[in-house]
């Protein structure tokens, strides 16, 4: 009897501790009260600069949350750094056209570079609705533009539709775009 009680208690403690762990990782829409205004001024400024004043800058904040949970000290196993998880080699390419982006590790320039990089991808995508183009931009940011082109070719269609293309993308990339959409309150 004592042993059974111990097992039940251990299971209960385990379930309660995993429930709390899961609760910490629940995504809430960016517009919810769960998110702070951390770095908002940079997301607003550079979204406006590279995507225009009518673009919803929250998309890039959601992307940064998906990338690093807004942790500027984040470093991926492959070396991507900062809030937007930019590879140093990508940052080197970006500063060739934007020499005023001074340091990859400063949140301001990391966010500016990430949004600029999104814009360079976004401009390459043709034959797509604006919303699909945005999803494909995020997928390219995660998996590389070449993968998106190859997946698009596999659909056999000229129109680049996220719903069709995502079937041919890695599970990680589909999950990445899904997480950004969920953070924006989409299903």
pTM: 0.82
* Confidence at residue 123, expressed as pLDDT on a 0 to 100 scale: 96
Class of domain 37-183: mainly alpha
Judge whether 67 counts as a catalytic residue.
yes
Distances (CA, A) of 149 to 38, 55, 88, 110, 156: 34, 25, 24, 26, 11
| Tens of pLDDT, residues 7-45 | 444 443 444 343 333 333 455 676 666 678 999 999 999
Q: Would you tell me how many other CB atoms lie within 10 Å of the CB of residue 182?
A: 16
Cβ 63 vs Cβ 114: under 8 Å: yes
Residue 62 vs residue 187, higher pLDDT: 62
List the chain domain ranges. Answer: 37-183
* Confidence at residue 94, expressed as pLDDT on a 0 to 100 scale: 97
Cβ 86 vs Cβ 80: under 8 Å: yes
Residue 166 scores a pLDDT above 70: yes
| Tens of pLDDT, residues 57-94 | 999 999 999 999 999 999 999 999 999 999 999 999 99
Section 128-154 average pLDDT? 96
Which one of 67, 164, 172, 186 is the catalytic residue?
67
Percent of the chain with pLDDT over 70: 82
First and final C-alpha spacing in the chain: 47
């Amino acid at each position: 009897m004592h042993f059974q009680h111990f097992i039940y208690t251990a299971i209960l403690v385990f379930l309660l501790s995993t429930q709390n762990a899961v609760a910490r990782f629940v995504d809430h829409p960016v517009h919810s009260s769960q998110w702070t205004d951390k770095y908002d001024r940079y997301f607003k400024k550079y979204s406006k600069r590279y995507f225009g004043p009518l673009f919803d800058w929250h998309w890039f904040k959601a992307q940064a949350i998906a990338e690093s949970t807004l942790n500027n000290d984040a470093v991926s196993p492959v070396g991507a750094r900062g809030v937007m998880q930019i590879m140093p080699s990508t940052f080197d390419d970006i500063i060739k056209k934007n020499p005023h982006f001074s340091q990859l590790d400063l949140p301001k320039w990391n966010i500016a570079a990430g949004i600029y990089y999104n814009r360079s991808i976004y401009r390459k995508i043709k034959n797509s609705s604006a919303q699909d183009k945005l999803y494909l931009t995020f997928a390219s940011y995660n998996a590389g533009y070449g993968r998106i082109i190859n997946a698009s070719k596999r659909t056999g269609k000229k129109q680049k539709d996220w719903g069709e293309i995502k079937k041919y993308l890695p599970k990680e990339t589909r999950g990445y775009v899904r997480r950004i959409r969920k953070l924006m309150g989409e299903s």
